Structure 1
Amino acid sequence: MQDKTHFKEALSAPIFTTLSQVADQLDLEAYVIGGYVRDFFLDRGTHKDIDVVAIGSGIDLAKAVAKALPDRPKVSIFKTYGTAMIQHGDVQLEFVGARKESYTEDSRNPAVENGSLEDDQNRRDFTINALALGLNADRFGQLLDPFEGMQDLKDKLIRTPLDPEVTYSDDPLRMLRAIRFANQLNFKIQKESLEAITAQADRITIISKERVVEELNKILMTRKPSIGFGLLHKTGLLKHILPELLALEGIDEVEGQRHKDNFWHTLEVVDNISETTENLWLRWAALLHDIGKAPTKKFNKKQGWTFHGHEFVGSKMVYKLFKRLRMPLNDKMKFVQKMVRMSSRPIVLATEVTDSAVRRLIFDAGDHVDDLMTLCEADITTKNPKKFKRYHKNFQLVREKIVTVEEKDHVRNFQPPVSGEEIMQTFGLPPSKEIGIIKEAIKEAILDGVIPNEYEAAKAFMLEKGEALNLKPQ
């Protein structure tokens, strides 16, 4: 990391020339601050979000910059927060006037007044996010680092500019952000800061569920989410956010028989799946795939520890959890439910890979059968190398069988070749239970391999089933 006070190369993009010229024309002090500056020093690629702070009106600066840009972008103004936003190509610029903030105990929404750059840097969550680069011509690229954020970048440390007790009490969302940044950047949280989070963990309850979930999603999308969830557990935040997950922790022993700790196993599964997919909702499925084990755990002298029906119970819990956290109750939730409900199916199937069982798996999983296999492969956390190799080999056989059976039988999202309307016409039936019985029988016959997934075979089977029900073709 370079040790100098000017970094004009950080502001080499044409947009910064415009920002500098307009700020000087308005006689406004202006600085780039926050994530863009931090990520420049961390060499994390081009940051598409640029935060600009003005000593004065950020909204006025935004309007003038928009007029000066060739594409004349629209300015979105948020008067409540005194901010403005511009979308310029693939870059999003957010403008704010420097401000001081003061908080009440029961809210993270501060009372705001105009302030200096120092005031604005004081209100930042972490030292590494308080780094600022001057935009005006006389200080273009000059670094302002009042809290030794550069040293914290070198030391890979998450630290608050002011007393962490005050910082986290004022805005408890910062506790989640500290953990998220530690996870994303592979940094450590300063000891005093971690202690302050632990002491005030219960204050996370005043934060809106939507903001909490936004941070959880970002933790889940890191390369190794177990770091973040481990910190959520260590600080006591997890019990206020995902008690269903925390309930999986611990190992019980009866008559010398123990079960694995399903909490730490779950975090391993999430790390495993994060190596193979960027699908957020599949990662959520990995996080929640075992939540039904806590309420279904029982000890049986003959079988030992059992978790009968935990997949079904878990899928029901997904709905309650999503609703409580105000997550989307739509196809995303249904996908997670399906993955949780079916999470053990391929494991059972891997012991005996029959065409019939594979057909049913493809039919039930539909377009998500590949996601389901990815989840089940991630669920292999055994430390026994022979078992690990054998389980993966078995799942590979299942994947190969899925391809073979699908090419031959085409049962993914299939509809029985004979429709209900044709059954009604064939036997002269009004809408009745017999139609459902025949349709179900055709579907089962195809899935069991009794007949191929073809119209003529299905029609012949329909006539046989009709005869068994004492129905006569018209």
Structure 2
Amino acid sequence: MKLPTDIYEIMDRLNGYGYEAFLVGGAVRNILLNLEVKDYDITTNAKPSELVGLFKKTILTGVRFGTVTVVINSRSYEITTYRRDYEYLDSRRPSVVRFSDELEEDLTRRDFTINAICMDKEGNVIDPLNGMEDINNRIIRAIGNPDTRFKEDALRMMRAIRLMSEIEFTIDENTLSSITANASSISYISAERIQNELNKILLSRKPSLGLFKMMETGMLGTIIPEIIPCVGFQQFSSYHDQDVFSHTMIVLDNTSPKLEIRLAALFHDIDKPNCLTIDENGEGHFYGHHIESARISKEVLKRLKYSNDVIEKVYRLIRYHPLKEINIGDKGVKRFINKVGKDNLEDMFNLNYADIMGKSTYKGIAKLKNMEERTQQIINRHEPLNLKDLEIKGKDIKELGIHEGPLIGEILDRLMTLVFDNPEDNNREKLIQYVKEMMKENPLD
């Protein structure tokens, strides 16, 4: 086993001053599973005040809870003092933290046995809670009483499911029962922390594993109640042999592991239960579901504190994901590119291919491929496809005496339509002349 040089330096320094130092948590778990290690956490009997004196650059943002961040070679490493927690008042953080001199006492206050394995710098494993046995049996088990662990920090319930999704372990029966019993307490957790765990589930190799389990335990319905009607909702369609939620999970698993695409997949059909109509042949239709699903996605993502950029991109992917433009001419394809945005096209097609994989027939693949090729052909012609490509800007229209913002926007939209049909007219002088003619005809009053 070869650890990063920085880790050896930290552990050597702590040992050199007479302190214990062990790798702990996810780093050890992933080393034992031969998985990538993203973060290295170290636990020690050195107190925070002592750690500050041992290293040149430290960050004290977590010092109240016994964590000091050490910066070496521009990389950050968290070192946490052994501790024993006292009462948790809000299912999030301990009301009081007391430090300990005993490694095992520190380990018993952690979340899961597979995260309570330690390793010294020589690679020797310290495992008083039998986490290795659970790793060998591929089990996620809460330490001690799972109700106690989840009442200490309700986010641990979501973390258990995230780990299940990431490393494809099974949650042990007692731990899972406790998650179900305590699922509603996830509402005590901040939106930012929930978002962080949800993102990890969505970006795992098979996100459906985690989301099915979140729905089964009641946690997903607590976080996103809007999705509950999708469970078991039949589509009465010759194209769909799955209920809406199961279809959504298949789509998720078939998308690329990119956050915006997977969020779009999660929400792309969320309003279908409110849009169902059945024709005289018994075939189900969901007219306009993409519009309402896009709106709902925006509401939920705002609630979960996603960035405006992520929210807007997810909205676009959902709003325009039914590719009705497949059988239309070049002008329609240009409008599609304009609405979706050139930078979003690859993600849009990825979502649509995954959507087809979630249906009972794949016959739409050829048409989708044709649409993808047509969009690329048009892009390769370097014709104007959005307002940024116009050779006239809002300031040019203002110089012609028009100052109302909405009116300027309407004029630019008209010019965009004009150059869709006649790309050769995307010339500043010609466009200014068109605006002058519009003003003479006064069609905008």
Residues 281-430 of structure 1: pairs in structure 2 closer than 5 A: 281-299=260-278, 301=280, 304-328=283-307, 330-344=308-322, 346=323, 348-350=324-326, 352-366=327-341, 367-381=343-357, 384=360, 387-388=361-362, 390-408=363-381, 410-414=383-387, 415-418=389-392
| Residues 125-157 of structure 1 deviation map (CA, whole Å, 9 limit, x = unaligned) | 11111001235xxxx543211121111111111
Give the Cα–Cα distance (whole angstroms) in 2 for the partners of residues 207 and 439 of structure 1.
Answer: 46
Larger Rg: 1
Segments of 5+ residues of structure 2 without an aligned counterpart are none
| Residues 368-410 of structure 1 deviation map (CA, whole Å, 9 limit, x = unaligned) | 22222221121113565xx41x322211111111122223352
In structure 2, the partner of 1:442 is 415
In structure 1, the partner of 2:103 is 117
| Residues 448-472 of structure 1 deviation map (CA, whole Å, 9 limit, x = unaligned) | x25645328955982895498279x
What SS is found at the alignment partner of 1:87? strand
Q: Does the 8 Å CA contact 1:362/1:411 hold for their aligned counterparts?
A: no
TM-score by length of 1: 0.82
Q: Does the 8 Å CA contact 1:409/1:453 hold for their aligned counterparts?
A: no
Kindly provide the amino acid, as one letter, of the partner of residue 318 in structure 1.
S
Segments of 5+ residues of structure 1 without an aligned counterpart are 1-8, 68-72
Q: Does the 8 Å CA contact 2:19/2:44 hold for their aligned counterparts?
A: yes
CA shift in 2, pair 1:278/1:457, >3 Å: farther
Kindly provide the amino acid, as one letter, of the partner of residue 397 in structure 1.
N
Shift of 1:272: 0.8
Shift of 1:92: 3.0
From 29, 42, 48, give the equivalent of 1:38: 29
From 67, 82, 85, give the equivalent of 1:83: 67
Give the Cα–Cα distance (whole angstroms) in 2 for the partners of residues 302 and 336 of structure 1.
Answer: 34
Give the Cα–Cα distance (whole angstroms) in 2 for the partners of residues 249 and 209 of structure 1.
Answer: 24
Kindly provide the amino acid, as one letter, of the partner of residue 338 in structure 2.
F
From 133, 138, 155, give the equivalent of 1:173: 155
From 29, 44, 49, give the equivalent of 2:39: 49
What SS is found at the alignment partner of 2:98? strand
Question: Does residue 60 of structure 1 match 2:50?
Answer: yes
What SS is found at the alignment partner of 1:444? helix
| Residues 76-131 of structure 1 deviation map (CA, whole Å, 9 limit, x = unaligned) | 45332121002323653211111111234543211211222111110111111100
CA shift in 2, pair 1:369/1:13, >3 Å: closer
Give the Cα–Cα distance (whole angstroms) in 1 for the partners of residues 407 and 73 of structure 2.
Answer: 61
Give the Cα–Cα distance (whole angstroms) in 2 for the partners of residues 214 and 353 of structure 1.
Answer: 41
In structure 1, the partner of 2:207 is 225
Give the Cα–Cα distance (whole angstroms) in 1 for the partners of residues 15 and 422 of structure 2.
Answer: 81
Shift of 1:225: 0.5
In structure 1, the partner of 2:195 is 213
Question: Does residue 127 of structure 1 match 2:110?
Answer: no
In structure 2, the partner of 1:99 is 83
Give the Cα–Cα distance (whole angstroms) in 2 for the partners of residues 104 and 75 of structure 1.
Answer: 25
TM-score by length of 2: 0.87
CA shift in 2, pair 1:41/1:285, >3 Å: same
| Residues 410-436 of structure 1 deviation map (CA, whole Å, 9 limit, x = unaligned) | 2332444455676787xx765579877
In structure 2, the partner of 1:4 is none
CA shift in 2, pair 1:101/1:361, >3 Å: same
CA shift in 2, pair 1:237/1:452, >3 Å: same
Shift of 1:43: 1.0
Q: Does the 8 Å CA contact 1:59/1:77 hold for their aligned counterparts?
A: no
Q: Does the 8 Å CA contact 1:451/1:457 hold for their aligned counterparts?
A: no
Kindly provide the amino acid, as one letter, of the partner of residue 41 in structure 1.
L
CA shift in 2, pair 1:21/1:296, >3 Å: same
CA shift in 2, pair 1:435/1:82, >3 Å: closer
What SS is found at the alignment partner of 2:291? helix
Kindly provide the amino acid, as one letter, of the partner of residue 49 in structure 1.
D
Give the Cα–Cα distance (whole angstroms) in 1 for the partners of residues 82 and 257 of structure 2.
Answer: 37
Kindly provide the amino acid, as one letter, of the partner of residue 334 in structure 1.
E
Kindly provide the amino acid, as one letter, of the partner of residue 133 in structure 2.
Q
Give the Cα–Cα distance (whole angstroms) in 1 for the partners of residues 33 and 239 of structure 2.
Answer: 49
Q: Does the 8 Å CA contact 1:56/1:114 hold for their aligned counterparts?
A: no
In structure 2, the partner of 1:183 is 165
Q: Does the 8 Å CA contact 1:22/1:61 hold for their aligned counterparts?
A: no
Shift of 1:239: 0.9
Q: CA RMSD in A?
A: 3.2
In structure 2, the partner of 1:148 is 130
Give the Cα–Cα distance (whole angstroms) in 2 for the partners of residues 315 and 424 of structure 1.
Answer: 34
CA shift in 2, pair 1:93/1:121, >3 Å: same
What SS is found at the alignment partner of 1:315? helix
CA shift in 2, pair 1:166/1:417, >3 Å: same
CA shift in 2, pair 1:353/1:88, >3 Å: farther
Kindly provide the amino acid, as one letter, of the partner of residue 62 in structure 2.
F
CA shift in 2, pair 1:264/1:41, >3 Å: same
